[in-house]
Amino acid sequence: MFGAGDLNGDGIGDLLAVDGTNELWRYDGTAAGTVKPRVLVFGNNWGTGRNVFVGVGDITGDGKADLVSRNAAGDLLRNSGNGAGSFGSTVKIGTGWQGYKGLF
């Protein structure tokens, strides 16, 4: 589970989690400091082979929070946020990242 910024455009931070079947879930934050029930973002073993996940804020410059992950081969991957709580398809943005323990 990791913080990912405001993913759904309501001005409140949200959480993402990858479960044991490698599905990505979103937990929308509330103004009371709690989270709403989970919402499936990506199913079908989306996280298989990925070993690090980080909410990086807006790295594409479009005003929407993005998601970066790393796979076992050391490829750095980006899923651009759509501002409505989901993400676009995976794009490889770098290689050679396997030497790092984590991304923060």
Nearest Cα to Cα of residue 79 among 26, 37, 10: 26
- Check residue 69 and give its pLDDT: 97
For 15-70, the pLDDT digits (tens) are: 999 999 999 999 999 999 999 999 999 998 999 999 999 999 999 999 999 999 99
The candidate with the shortest Cα–Cα distance to 34, out of 52, 15, 61, is: 15
* Residue indicated by tokens 């073993």: 45
**Stated length of the chain:** 104
Q: What does the pLDDT read at residue 97?
A: 97
Q: What is the pLDDT of residue 53?
A: 95
Q: Which residue has the tokens 């589970």?
A: 1
φ, ψ for residue 79, nearest 5 deg? -120, 115
CA-angle at 17, arms to 20 and 9, nearest 5°: 150
Distance from C-alpha of 65 to C-alpha of 75, rounded to nearest angstrom: 20
Q: Please write the tens of the pLDDT for every residue from 88-102.
A: 999 999 999 999 998
